[in-house]
Structure 1
Amino acid sequence: MDERKRDSIVAYLQRRMAEFGIEPDDIAASIAADQEQLRAARYRDATGNTWDGKGDAPQWVIQATSAGQSLEHFAIGATTAAESMKSNNVDWRDDPFAGTRLATIKPERLGAG
């Protein structure tokens, strides 16, 4: 972002903060509270909703589990079966055939000729 755009955005934000009586400390406290909530979260959905697993389940958890989804699907830090089956030790950037016709030929076509 160029310097003029940045300065313009900063000036706009400062005006809006003054208009609503928001102090920089208020923003810092809000960011800290959000980060703490994310650290405490044990479950997260695709839209970013989180739940710490304590108390009553939020509506998004109730809807998902009622629809047949397991709670473990939303666990933060848990690996799914598909992720655990991935081979993480292959670096395809060094593939000598990448971008060539050989990279697009299906294996069944490579059999007996």
Structure 2
Amino acid sequence: MDERKRDSMVAYLRRRMADVGIELDDLAAAIAEDEIKQKAARYRSATGDTWSGDGEMPQWLKQAISAGQSMEHFAVERPAPAMTETRPKADWSRDPFAGSRLAAVRRSDRHL
């Protein structure tokens, strides 16, 4: 999005927020609350319904399980810890074929 469109959108949103009495602090609090809810969710439906796993199971999940779906299907995947690169980096600075036709072999040029 270019800068003019962005500025125009920001101005429009500020006017609309002023029209209905929404302050920036209200918006920031709502966003923070949504982020907390999303982080706490252990199960999520395709429509965005969530459940933390605490308390009574929600109706949407009960219905899905009774229809034959597993709970694991709705489990929110946690991001895997970052894996470090264990393979050594290649040093291409002394590549004798750099810049030649051999350095840029296309898939169609390969013969299996």
TM superposition outliers: structure 1 runs of 4+ over 6 Å: none
Q: Is 1:27 aligned to residue 24 of structure 2?
A: no
TM-score when normalising by structure 2: 0.66
Amino acid at match of 1:63: Q
Which residue in the other structure is 2:48 paired with?
48
The residue aligned with 1:15 is 15
Look at both structures and tell me which one has the larger radius of gyration over its CA atoms: 2
Runs of at least 5 residues in structure 1 that lack an aligned partner in the other structure: 79-95, 103-113
Change (3 A) 1:97 1:66: farther
User: What amino acid is the match of 2:72?
Assistant: E
Q: Deviations over 1:19-56 (max 9, x none)?
A: 11000000110011011111111111223221101122
Amino acid at match of 2:49: N
Match of 2:68 in 1: 68
Structure 2 CA distance for partners of 1:16 and 1:97, relative to 1, 3 Å:
same
Structure 2's unaligned 5+ residue stretches are 79-104
Q: TM-score, with normalisation over the residues of structure 1?
A: 0.65
Percent identity for Structure 1 against Structure 2: 63
Per-residue deviation, residues 83-111 of structure 1 (Å, max 9, x unmatched) = xxxxxxxxxxxxx775x4x8xxxxxxxxx
